[in-house]
Amino acid sequence: MTSSSLPTLVRVALLFSVFSLQPGLPCRADAPAPEVSYALSEKLGPLREATEAKNYPAALALIASLLPDTKPDTYDRFVLQQLQAQMLLSQSAWAAAIPPLENILALDATHTARAPREAAWLTPATRLDVLRTLAQLHYTLASGLPATATPADRRAGYRRALDYLRQTAPPPPTPPTPEYQSFLASLLYALATADPAAPDKAILSETLAAAGRGLALTAVPGEQFFVILLAAHQQLGHPAAVAETLERLVAVAPANKGYWSQLAGAWLNVAAVAAAGEPDRPSAARSASFRAIHAIERAQKHGALDTPKDNQNLVGLYLNLGSPEHAIALLEAGLRDGRIEETRRNYELLAAAWLGIERPDRALETYAAATARFPKEGQLDLQASQLLYSAGHPDQALATARAGLAKGSVEKPGLAHTWVAFLAWELARYDEAARAVDLAATFPDSRPEELARLKAALTEKTEGLKN
């Protein structure tokens, strides 16, 4: 909290010198205004000079020397403590300003109870300013407690702040101001989460109610109430409400990239929770996943979530939801213009997406582009080889598999040589098939039972040819 953020108590009421303090409105037209005693007024010259020179340390020292000479419950004590509070606030001495502020409230209350027909020492407006200032000070001090402070210490500070703030609420049926509701909701949230390990759910529910009422009182809602609602829903474990609140946040603050990122993640969390909690209702998870996609696509129109990683996530979402046609469009455009990282894996995803819509021809074109881009990645040739075989081209499949093995970078060389052996056997190239079987057996990833079957088939075939 800075001095400029303090309420009008500092800016108005306490900026006056003792000679211009305004008393409260009298209850009778002829009620005299309160005045300092003659004894005190004689001693105020040096104080006035120090105050006008803004020599607040000297002024505070003078006040400290004068206070013991004033009687309790007197207007002299009230004036000195009001000035003391003014100067302490001007020096950002927040903790030290609290006792004199609390004292002037008590002195005014005592005076009003003792002499109800006399002029009050605090006007109603100034009294409200004092209460608001005390609420802000206690809130700031509780928030600024060191990490070693106990949750009980924080709660005590927040409760004192709440007590002062609630005294500023207008009597029914006058509605509170949005500013009041904003501070109330913030204080309630701070109180509820004073112990992060054990948030108070009942007070969090009060927080939701306070923020909701604030929204109802606001013609054009800003971010603050939504941020409080968001935090409270997160603490209460309300994933759907978190996502819906973020939807409202991006509506009022579309330029905030952080909100868009949180929104996409929130809908993905809703999808995960739905999938885990309602496995028999896949439509709930699917719907939330589509809302995550929609969030990412809207975010990109505002310059958010537009990195290659974000686009990669979008591709994955479409593929997981069984929408390969959307993934294809993203991958092709992204690989072309750099919005998706040009990796072997992404070419493989694109080929798989083409297969998902039964376009093996386009999948083969993708593998051709990938092998041109990554000429040393033999695994790509092996995958293309399998597609060629499925398309009825075993000879091309064998040549492509050979090329892949020659390049290297094959993930499972034993299985790759086994594949070459199978293709060669089918094309009646038995010597090549036998060599491939022997090579396959030298790799730990090979499957002995498959190699045994191939060997037996080769032996049978070669012996048959001899006969």
Q: Where are the domains of the chain?
A: 1-123
Interval 2-15 mean pLDDT:
34
Mean pLDDT of 15-38: 54
Q: Give me the helix-helix angle, 239-252 and 282-301, nearest 10°.
A: 20
* E strand or H helix that includes residue 325: helix 324-337
Q: Please state, rounded to an integer, the average pLDDT across all residues of the chain.
A: 91
Helix (H, G, I), strand (E, B) or coil at 458: helix
Q: Is 261 exposed, middle or buried (0-12, 13-18, 19+ CB in 10 A)?
A: middle
**Spatial distance between the Cα atoms of 264 and 251, rounded to a whole number of angstroms:** 14
**What pLDDT does 2 receive?**
36
Average pLDDT estimate for 100-126: 94
> 366 with 347: CB under 8 angstroms?
yes
**Distance separating alpha carbons of residues 419 and 197, to the nearest angstrom:** 57
**pLDDT tens-place string over residues 246-275:** 999 999 999 999 999 999 999 999 999 999
Q: What is the mean pLDDT of residues 156-182?
A: 96
Could you give the CA distance from residue 116 to residue 46 in angstroms, rounded to a whole number? Answer: 34
pLDDT (mean) for 33-56: 90
Instruction: Label residue 32 by pLDDT band (50, 70, 90).
Output: confident
pLDDT for residue 14: 35
Q: What is the pLDDT of residues 331-372, one digit of tens each?
A: 999 999 999 999 999 999 999 999 999 999 999 999 999 999
Distance CA 381, CA 405 (A): 8
For the cut 80, the answer to whether the pLDDT of residue 216 exceeds it is yes
Asked if 109 and 120 count as a contact pair (C-beta separation under 8 A), the reply is: no
All residues at 6 or more sequence positions from 235 whose CB lies less than 8 Å from its CB, including other chains = 192, 193, 199, 204
* Backbone region of residue 397 per phi and psi (left: phi > 0; alpha: psi in -120 to 50; beta: other values): alpha
Q: What whole-number distance in Å separates Cα of residue 423 and Cα of residue 445?
A: 19
Q: How far apart are CA 20 and CA 14, in angstroms?
A: 10
Total Cβ atoms within 10 A of residue 90: 17
419-430 average pLDDT score: 95
Would you place residue 15 in the very low, low, confident or very high pLDDT band (cuts 50, 70, 90)? very low
d(CA 222, CA 208): 16
Q: For position 278, what pLDDT does the model report?
A: 80
CA distances from 436 to 67, 151, 417 (A): 103, 71, 5
Mean pLDDT on 163-175: 95
How far apart CA 76 and CA 121 sit, in angstroms, is: 11
271: nearest Cα among 251, 254, 250, 286: 286
What mean pLDDT comes out for the span 93-115? 96
Instruction: Please check the confidence at residue 188 and state whether its pLDDT lies above 60.
Output: yes
CA 330 to chain centroid, in Å, comes to: 27
Question: So what's the pLDDT on residue 12?
Answer: 30
At 286-343, the pLDDT tens digits run 999 999 999 999 999 999 999 999 999 999 999 999 999 999 999 999 999 999 999 9
pLDDT of residue 30: 56
- Cis (ω within 30 of 0) for the bond into 173? yes
Mean pLDDT over residues 217-246, rounded? Answer: 96
Element spanning 428, H or E:
none
Are the beta carbons of 158 and 173 closer than 8 angstroms? no
State which H helix or E strand residue 273 sits in. helix 257-277
Contact 214, 181 (CB under 8 A): yes
- Indicate the pTM of the whole model: 0.82
Residue 1, pLDDT above cutoff 80? no
- Structural contact between residues 275 and 269, judged by C-beta atoms closer than 8 angstroms: no
Q: Are 226 and 208 in contact (CB under 8 A)?
A: no
pLDDT classification of 462: cutoffs 50, 70, 90 = confident
- The pLDDT value given to residue 466: 62
CB atoms within 10 A of CB 53: 10
Q: What percent of the chain has pLDDT over 90?
A: 85
pLDDT at 13 over 80: no
pLDDT at 144: 95
pLDDT band at 34 (very low <50, low <70, confident <90, very high): confident
Is residue 106 a contact partner of residue 72, using CB atoms and an 8 Å limit? no
The burial class, CB within 10 Å (0-12 / 13-18 / 19+), for 198 is exposed
